[in-house]
Amino acid sequence: MAIRLYDSLSREVRELKPAQPDGVFRMYCCGPTVYAPAHIGNFRTFLVQDVLRRLLELELGPGKVKHVRNLTDVDDRTIAQAKREKRPLAEITREWTDIFHNDCRALNILPMDPPHVEPKATEHIPEQVEMINELLAKGLAYVAPDGSVYYKIAAFPRYGALSRLKERELKATVLGADDDHKDDASDFALWKAYKPDEDGEVKWPGPRGAAAGRPGWHIECSAMSRKYLGDTLDLHAGGEDLEFPHHENEIAQSEGCTGHTFSRHWYHTKHLLVDGTTMSKSKGNYYTVGDLLEKGYSPMAIRYALLAGHPRKQLNFTLDSLHAAESAIRTLRSIPAIFNEPRNVRDGDKPSKKFQPIFDALCDDLNIPAAFGALFELRQEIAYPTTGKPTRGDIDAFSRVLFALGLDLSAPPKETSTPAEISALADKRWAARLAKDFKTADALRKELAAAGWSMLDGKDGYKLEPLKK
């Protein structure tokens, strides 16, 4: 499978290939700032990156993908949160990191186990200071009167290539013209001098000639990606809000230091809308994964709903879309139920071509909605085969599809508090119905009724409801 993906820098769809002789694909993804729970807009981006990593692992093989996703555990927001709560910075960030990891596990996002890395900014201060020293030595940065260090954008002519900044006016108000210590309003902070009233106990020794303080936000990604992936990445990904200024600043920092291309490929996921507008607590449409789980939605329905739109197009998330996702997951659960009945599967280890359209869609600029569509067409063919029953090889192919999409169909949806044994019985009855074994289906329906449950059949799935007493 050749994976072709849109490149935000060249504005073209290009094939993804590892550049190094070892054949390892090196990808860096900007992770969360751990001062509060990541919202579902953040998780849309993380889920898209998860599908891409899964697809690369299927194509390149075990150990041939190295994924680095950082944790920002020191910046203005984390320090402000620690100050508000009057707790140590490390205590605050550790708490929110644990919550982030719990959300990742719930949504079946692949873990960052070796060879993958999840570095923390606070654990890589020396690497950041050293990189700033290199930029100072090359004349690309300067120490301001207050002891902070700024990047001199005028000294890096390629600045703006990713975001097409030079095609629109560079406005000082966008970049922060309120800092009197800069030589130019467009310069950005590499190191921030310590301010007792703002920073509390958070400070480290600074670069040469600079004051004690803390790193700017942008330098952490340049330093940590360089340490774990080298001077040049195969892919750098993030949400579209990071394209400018964060990713633009990363390019200036990294290429200013090394003289090499920072990333061969850039990919940005579009914003998530909720109820047709931007997410905001004041609008009442701000959701975290925990919020949705508390409302009773299943993790796989949340994953499905957040992946239901093309990553390069805005997706409008609603609670109705979550209900539809629950129904979709329930329908997909009928596929393994069919496979579990020996009479529905014929011998043969070679998979048919039935699954190829799903992988074709994923490899074509990560067209996840088209992959979902192909999967549902496949479900119809499996339930009502026109070209022969599926083989045992098809079961393996289906497992690869589930891995690529990250769908765990083993847990029942949470739309109702249905006991696991009732869900298993319903799955068995649905499989019998699809196989047109109506005698068995009727018997299982009576068994469900005797247990106090009604099973309502629909075109693409079923719904379970407790019988009224």
Mind listing the pLDDT tens digit for each residue in 377-390?
888 888 778 777 88
Mind listing the pLDDT tens digit for each residue in 260-310?
999 999 999 999 999 999 999 999 999 999 999 999 999 999 999 999 999
Whether residue 110 is predicted with pLDDT greater than 70 in this model: the reply is: yes
Confidence label for 114 from pLDDT (cuts 50, 70 and 90): very high
Confidence label for 180 from pLDDT (cuts 50, 70 and 90): low
Domain range for residue 69?
A: 4-269
CATH of the domain at 237: 3.40.50.620
Residue 318 within a domain: yes
Mind listing the pLDDT tens digit for each residue in 60-69?
999 999 999 9
Query: Of all residues in the chain, what percent carry a pLDDT higher than 90?
Result: 70
pLDDT averaged over every residue in the chain? 91
Q: Are residues 367 and 255 in the same domain?
A: no
Q: Are residues 77 and 91 in the same domain?
A: yes
So what's the pLDDT on residue 170?
56
Q: Are residues 126 and 168 in the same domain?
A: yes
Q: Are residues 10 and 139 in the same domain?
A: yes
Whether residue 12 is predicted with pLDDT greater than 80 in this model: the reply is: yes
Residue 413 within a domain: no
Q: Are residues 263 and 287 in the same domain?
A: no
The average pLDDT across 217-230 equals 98
Residue 414 within a domain: no
So what's the pLDDT on residue 178?
46
So what's the pLDDT on residue 414?
54
The average pLDDT across 166-177 equals 49
Residue 307 within a domain: yes
Whether residue 177 is predicted with pLDDT greater than 60 in this model: the reply is: no
Whether residue 174 is predicted with pLDDT greater than 50 in this model: the reply is: no
Q: Are residues 352 and 254 in the same domain?
A: no
CATH of the domain at 397: 1.10.730.10
Whether residue 245 is predicted with pLDDT greater than 50 in this model: the reply is: yes
Q: Which two structure tokens, joined as six digits, stand for 177?
A: 């013209």
Q: Are residues 199 and 166 in the same domain?
A: yes
Give the total number of structural domains in the chain: 3
Residue 230 within a domain: yes
The average pLDDT across 369-376 equals 94
> Is the pTM for the entire model greater than 0.75?
yes
Mind listing the pLDDT tens digit for each residue in 131-152?
999 999 999 999 999 999 999 9
Q: Are residues 265 and 298 in the same domain?
A: no
Given phi > 0 = left and psi -120 to 50 = alpha, else beta, which region is 86? left
So what's the pLDDT on residue 69?
98
